[in-house]
Amino acid sequence: MANSAQARKRARQADAQRAHNMAQRSALRTAIKKVRVAIAAGNKSDAQTQLSASMAVIDRIADKGVIHKNKASRHKSRLSAAVKAIA
């Protein structure tokens, strides 16, 4: 347990930031899942709509440092390739 007032405050701030980051990461996973569901259904127009929405979420979360920018690029690249592969 933190002993000084400063350490207690940093522990509180770390807990709040961790909760916020977890919520952001959950939103990221949900956005990716929506694109994958649209791809599995074979609905190209819906998949493209979901892809553009998820790209915004991915970029926003990468800009905040919740995930690495290369991981964001990898997600975007693989999702867009999967959407393009829909016949």
pLDDT at 41: 94
Report the CATH number at residue 50.
1.20.58.110
Domain region containing 13: 5-84
Q: Is the pLDDT of residue 87 over 90?
A: no
For residues 42-55, average pLDDT: 95
Which residue type sits at 58?
I
pLDDT at 2: 82
Instruction: Tell me which DSSP letter residue 43 carries.
Output: -
Number of structural domains in the chain: 1
Q: What percent of the chain has pLDDT over 90?
A: 95
Q: Is the pLDDT of residue 31 over 90?
A: yes
